[in-house]
Amino acid sequence: MTTSNASGAHSITKQDLNKVFLRSLTMEYSWNYERQQHMGYCFSMLPIIRRVYDKKEDQIAATQRHMEFFNTTPYISTLILGISAAMEESNSKDDDFDASSINSVKAALMSPLAGIGDSLFWGTLRVIATGLGVSLAMEGSILGPLLFLIVFNVPHYIIRWFCLKWGYGFGTSFLSKIEESGLMPKLTMGAAVLGLMVIGAMVPNLVSVSVAGSLGTGDSAQTIQSIIDGIMPSLLPLLVTLGVFELVQHKVKIAWILIILMAVGIVGSFFGIFAV
């Protein structure tokens, strides 16, 4: 599981991956509405960052890179962590490696894996574990809650570890083949486009804006919101997102952006502009 470069330095060891595995258990401890699991992800990547980069400025750049938005099912987040570890290792060895592709790949994978992970763990494994545990608990057996914890946690710890191992192994071999074939620029571009598409698709789910009021009378009356949705579904959430993006581009602090959004929401609701 150890890779090496010409100098024998900057190689990721099994011990490093073990540290990533243990740190991944804290993925949701610092969850927040702004970037969700980003601090847990960065914390998990620190052993890799310290291993593959000697220069302080490179470590800082990698740490900042992994403080970007991230959110997926925590139990299979290690698959992406493994791939990120392999990409950071390649970035430390290859001066021509595009570091921006690391976050592009993260963004491209987190949503599809969340769909798989939520169905597997929340929709299936948790239901099975609850059914087994409740059946014993209703009989007054202390084994009920213990069985629930065992049935749910044992598989998820095993899957979490193997996802990390597979992610790192896949990332290492895949990147080597891509670099040899000269397809890295195309991979980077494709991952960036896919990542932006994933983030864009999340806007209607994460941003909610609804205008009050209607036009017309009687049966012919139409709500203003339905007219806007007829022009383009989720148009208002998109405009709000683009507006926030523009403020971020102009270096406006997140705290001020939140205050602006709160003020607009309160004023708009007070005057009946927004539907509550």
- Residue at 8 is within a domain: no
Q: Which of 181, 199, 217 is the last residue of a domain?
A: 199
**Quick check: is 2 in a domain?**
no
Do residues 59 and 49 touch, judged by C-beta distance below 8 A? Answer: yes
Counted domains in the chain: 2
3-state DSSP helix/strand/coil % of the chain, to nearest 5? 70, 5, 25
Residue 5: the pLDDT is: 44
Whether 124 and 220 share a structural domain: no
Q: How confident is the model at residue 111 (pLDDT cuts 50, 70, 90)?
A: confident
User: What is the rounded distance in angstroms from the CA atom of residue 252 to the CA atom of residue 193?
Assistant: 26
Q: Does 5 reside within a domain?
A: no
Calpha distance 101→190 (Å, rounded): 9
Residue 3 domain-assigned (yes or no): no
DSSP 27-49: TTTT-BTTTBTHHHHHHHHHHHH
> Using 50, 70 and 90 to split pLDDT, how confident is the model at 194?
low
Query: pLDDT at position 53, please?
Result: 93
Band of residue 192 on the pLDDT scale cut at 50, 70, 90: low
The pLDDT tens digits of the residues spanning 15-41 come to: 999 999 999 999 988 888 888 999 999
Q: What is the pLDDT of residue 263?
A: 93
Least confident of 96-100, 189-193, 203-207: 189-193
- Mean pLDDT of all residues belonging to the chain: 85
Q: Which two tokens stand for residue 243?
A: 């507006």
Tell me which of 69-83, 139-153, 180-194 is least confident: 180-194
Q: What integer pLDDT is reported at residue 164 of this predicted model?
A: 94
Q: Each residue of 169-178: pLDDT tens digit?
A: 888 776 666 6
Span 122-153, pLDDT tens digits? 888 888 888 888 888 888 888 889 999 999 99
Q: What is the mean pLDDT of residues 99-107?
A: 86
Q: Does a structural domain hold residue 1?
A: no
- Over range 81-105, report the average pLDDT: 88
Looking at 199, 216, 250, the residue that finishes a domain is: 199
Domain span at residue 219 reads: 207-270
> What is the C-alpha to C-alpha distance for residues 259 and 4, in angstroms, rounded to an integer?
49
Q: Is residue 194 domain-shared with residue 225, that is, in the same domain? A: no
Q: Are residues 119 and 215 in the same domain?
A: no
> Does residue 18 sit in the same domain as residue 151?
yes
Q: Mean pLDDT throughout 48-65?
A: 93
Same domain membership, residue 219 and residue 139:
no
Q: Is 149 within the bounds of a domain?
A: yes
Do 22 and 107 belong to one domain? yes
In a domain, 92, yes or no: yes
Q: Which span out of 3-12, 129-138, 215-224 was modeled with the highest average pLDDT?
A: 129-138
Q: Does 115 share its domain with 52?
A: yes
Tell me what the mean pLDDT of segment 192-203 comes to. 72
* CA torsion angle 34 36 38 40 (round to 10): 140
Q: What is the pLDDT of residue 188?
A: 64
Domain match, 186 and 215 both: no
Indicate if 152 and 239 belong to the same structural domain: no
Which of 261, 250, 238, 193 minimizes the C-alpha distance to 34? Answer: 261
Q: For residue 3, what pLDDT is reported?
A: 42
pLDDT at 180: 64
Which pLDDT band, with edges at 50, 70 and 90, does 270 fall under? confident
3-state secondary structure of 200: helix
pLDDT at position 131 is: 86
Are 29 and 126 members of one domain?
Answer: yes
Note whether 84 and 157 are same-domain residues: yes
**By C-alpha distance, which of 184, 180, 178, 210 is closest to 274?**
210
Residue 24 lies in a domain: yes
59 pLDDT above the threshold of 90: yes
Q: What is the pLDDT of residue 8?
A: 41
- What is the C-alpha to C-alpha distance for residues 34 and 254, in angstroms, rounded to an integer? 9
Last residue of a domain, one of 171, 199, 227: 199
Same domain, 46 and 62: yes
At residue 191, the pLDDT reads 64
- pLDDT at 179 (0 to 100): 60
